[in-house]
């Protein structure tokens, strides 16, 4: 894609190097297999060790925990390149890094960090994040899963739904109601009383593994409570902010893939004895798509600068997640149209991205919920309930 605003100049040599190595990985290892993975509705687990060897799992964490103290821009670029391949890949890395390693790092005890983080960075242990329930989505405070202390153990009971990575995860960060409020727990998935069930019949994010987690009086040691989760639901939301940041960057990777495919297609495809690209209305669509990608990338770069400076706010992240998901979805739909009938074929990546982006638009805070967060910032009035 043309870099009209020379956004590359915002990135250091190291950041460009990381981006280019992930782009190469996606080109060489993801693109040849992703259509099949999507059709078979199977997460390509065989790629995990290669993803880990790229050094992207928990990359923002300190080296002692397997990370590389990477900048926010580096992490953003990794998300963008992975999602250029498929949102399933970026979702896998987001969940492992932002929703599992990050809570262990920021809310966990020293023992929890030293047990889990390095094996997770190496891709040897895989995590998932259980917040959503059958009756509790946008309103996580209404969760029904409970945890109570029985001697030296916590007993967890309830059901989590729509949990990315759950079917093959080694551990789950489970959010549950205790007498003191909502708390986070590390639950190993091989314990008695926990069962994960693969969610079937998804028409979006098919190459991502999603599952239900059933906790039937599952007992875990007292020490599996994340001590920093004493802040309650706010602790869970702080993890979501990390993941939403990656989404804001990631979706523009999918959008770029759609744009590049559409541009290439309309230059080749002839109708009325001329390439489609020579028609004014087609050019308008291309320009509109390109404009939104450039704008969204500027927003993401600004967001990353705030992230690294420690001045980022939840509202900034909401605005970027909301805008970039909405625009990426619009771009994918425009690209789908530009490809005509071919736009609905999995031979091209566009329809796959378009379907994936429907999930990404909904998870990690729906479009409406992000409007409400920013609406409260603007008016001072919470309109959630």
Between 210 and 323, whose beta carbon lies closer to ligand FAD? 210
What number of chain residues touch ligand FAD (CB under 6 A)?
A: 21
The single residue of 81, 212, 327, 364 carrying the catalytic annotation is: 364
158 near ligand FAD (CB under 6 A): no
Please report how close the Cβ of residue 77 comes to ligand FAD at its closest, in angstroms: 23
185 near ligand FAD (CB under 6 A): no
> Contacting ligand FAD (CB under 6 A), which of 198, 232, 366, 375?
366
Q: According to CB under 6 A, which residues from 264 to 283 bind ligand FAD?
A: none
Q: Is 201 helix (H, G, I), strand (E, B) or coil?
A: coil
Residues 6+ apart with CB under 8 A from 198: 167, 209, 210, 211
Between 151 and 380, whose beta carbon lies closer to ligand FAD? 380
322 near ligand FAD (CB under 6 A): no
Between 281 and 378, whose beta carbon lies closer to ligand FAD? 378
For 325, other C-beta atoms within 10 Å of its C-beta total 31
101 touches 121 (CB < 8 A): yes
Between 210 and 241, whose beta carbon lies closer to ligand FAD? 210
375 near ligand FAD (CB under 6 A): no
Between 23 and 352, whose beta carbon lies closer to ligand FAD? 352
Please report how close the Cβ of residue 69 comes to ligand FAD at its closest, in angstroms: 26
361 touches 325 (CB < 8 A): yes
> Contacting ligand FAD (CB under 6 A), which of 82, 88, 205, 299?
205
* DSSP structure class, residue 82: H
368 near ligand FAD (CB under 6 A): yes
Please report how close the Cβ of residue 163 comes to ligand FAD at its closest, in angstroms: 5
Interface characters, 116-145, with ligand FAD (x: CB under 6 A): ------------xxxxx----xx-------
Between 266 and 320, whose beta carbon lies closer to ligand FAD? 320
> Contacting ligand FAD (CB under 6 A), which of 164, 297, 300, 324?
164
By CB atoms closer than 10 A (0-12, 13-18, 19+), residue 382 is exposed
Closest residue to ligand FAD using C-beta atoms: 137
Q: Catalytic residue at 63? A: no
The C-alpha atoms of residue 108 and residue 226 are separated, in whole angstroms, by 5
> Contacting ligand FAD (CB under 6 A), which of 145, 159, 210, 257?
210
* DSSP structure class, residue 275: E
The C-alpha atoms of residue 128 and residue 299 are separated, in whole angstroms, by 28
* DSSP structure class, residue 188: E
The C-alpha atoms of residue 87 and residue 37 are separated, in whole angstroms, by 12
Query: Distances in Å between the alpha carbon of 269 and those of 154, 288, 331?
Result: 62, 20, 19
DSSP one-letter string for 12-60: -HHHHHHHHHHHHHIIIIIHHHHHHHHHHT---GGGHHHHHHTT-TTTT
SS3 content of the chain, % helix, strand, coil (to 5): 60, 15, 25
By CB under 6 A, which span of 36-44, 54-62, 221-229, 356-364 interacts with ligand FAD?
A: 356-364
> Contacting ligand FAD (CB under 6 A), which of 48, 54, 163, 320?
163
Between 106 and 366, whose beta carbon lies closer to ligand FAD? 366
The C-alpha atoms of residue 148 and residue 276 are separated, in whole angstroms, by 64
Interface characters, 68-97, with ligand FAD (x: CB under 6 A): ---------------------------x--
108 touches 120 (CB < 8 A): no
218 touches 191 (CB < 8 A): yes
Residue numbers at the binding site for ligand FAD (CB under 6 A): 95, 128-132, 137-138, 162-164, 205, 210, 359, 362-364, 366, 368-369, 384
Q: Enumerate the active-site residues.
A: 364
């Amino acid at each position: 894609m043309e870099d009209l605003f020379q956004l590359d100049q915002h990135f250091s040599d190291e950041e460009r190097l990381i981006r280019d190595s992930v782009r190469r990985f996606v080109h060489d290892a993801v693109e040849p297999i992703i259509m099949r993975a999507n059709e078979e509705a199977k997460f390509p687990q065989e790629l995990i060790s290669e993803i880990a060897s790229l050094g992207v799992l928990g990359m923002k964490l300190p080296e002692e925990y397997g990370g590389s103290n990477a900048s926010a821009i580096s992490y953003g670029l990794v998300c963008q390149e992975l999602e250029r391949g498929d949102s399933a890949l970026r979702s896998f890395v987001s969940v492992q890094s932002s929703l599992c390693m990050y809570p262990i790092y920021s809310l966990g005890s020293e023992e929890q960090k030293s047990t889990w983080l390095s094996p997770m960075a190496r891709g040897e242990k895989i995590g998932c994040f259980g917040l959503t329930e059958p009756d509790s989505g946008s309103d996580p405070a209404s969760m029904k899963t409970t945890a109570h202390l029985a001697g030296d153990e916590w007993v967890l009971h309830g059901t989590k739904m729509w949990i990315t990575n759950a079917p093959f995860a080694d551990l789950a960060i489970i959010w549950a109601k205790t007498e003191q409020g909502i708390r986070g727990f590390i639950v190993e998935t091989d314990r008695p009383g926990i069962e994960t069930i693969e969610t079937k019949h998804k028409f979006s994010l098919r190459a991502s593994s999603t599952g239900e987690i059933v906790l039937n009086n599952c007992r875990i040691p007292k020490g599996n409570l994340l001590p920093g989760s004493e802040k309650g639901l706010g602790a869970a939301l702080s993890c979501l902010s990390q993941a939403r940041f990656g989404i804001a960057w990631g979706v523009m990777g999918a959008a770029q893939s759609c744009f590049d495919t559409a541009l290439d297609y309309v230059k080749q495809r002839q109708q009325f004895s001329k390439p489609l690209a020579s028609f004014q209305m087609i050019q308008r669509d291309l320009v509109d798509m390109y404009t939104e990608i450039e704008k969204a990338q500027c927003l993401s770069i600004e967001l990353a600068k705030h992230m690294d400076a420690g001045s980022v706010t939840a509202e900034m992240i909401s605005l970027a997640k909301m805008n970039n998901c909405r625009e990426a979805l619009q771009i994918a739909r425009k690209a789908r149209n530009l490809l005509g009938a071919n736009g609905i074929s999995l031979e091209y990546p566009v329809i796959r991205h378009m379907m994936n982006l429907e999930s990404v638009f909904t998870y990690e805070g729906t479009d409406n919920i992000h409007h409400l967060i920013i609406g409260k910032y603007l008016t001072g009035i919470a309109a959630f309930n």
